[in-house]
Amino acid sequence: MAILFFNLRGVPQDEADDVRALLAEHEIEFYETNDGNWGVSMPAIWLHNEEDLDVAQPLFDEYQYQRATEQRALYRQLKRQGEHTGFWRQTLKQPLRFLLYSGFMALIVYCSVKWLFELGL
C-alpha cells in the first residue's frame, strides 16, 4: 500500500527536486500526485512500499537538517548585506499596493461590524 512521504503544497521547486533526486539516488520507488485542475487535491510524493519508509525517513531527516542550516545561513547573509526584504522594505517598495490592501481590509471590517450592529448584537 502506498504511503504519504512528502507533501508538496507550498514547497519551493528546488526542494521538491532535491527530494525526488534523493529518492531516485537511493533507488526508492515513488510517485507524485499534483494539485489537480482546481488546486484542491493534495500534491505529494508517495512511496510505493511501506517498507521503504524505514530507509527513506533517515535520509530525508538528514536532508532537511542540511537544508535548514543552509537556508538559515543564507538568511543571515542577506540580512547582513541589507538585501533581505522584510515587511517594511516590501511596503516601501510598493506603497500603493499596501494602501489598497489596507483600505480593502478596513472596508471589510467596517462592513462586518456595521452589519452586526444593525442586527442589534
At 70-106, the pLDDT tens digits run: 999 999 999 899 888 888 888 988 999 999 999 999 9
At 1-22, the pLDDT tens digits run: 789 999 999 999 999 999 999 9
Report the C-alpha gap between 105 and 14 in whole angstroms.
34
Output the pLDDT for position 52.
93
> How buried is 91 (Cβ within 10 angstroms: 0-12 exposed, 13-18 middle, 19+ buried)?
middle
Q: Which residues pair with 31 in a beta bridge?
A: 46
At 45-74, the pLDDT tens digits run: 999 999 999 999 999 999 999 999 999 999
Report the C-alpha gap between 79 and 18 in whole angstroms.
25
Looking at the domain 1-84, which fold is it? Answer: Alpha-Beta Plaits (3.30.70)
Report the C-alpha gap between 72 and 76 in whole angstroms.
6
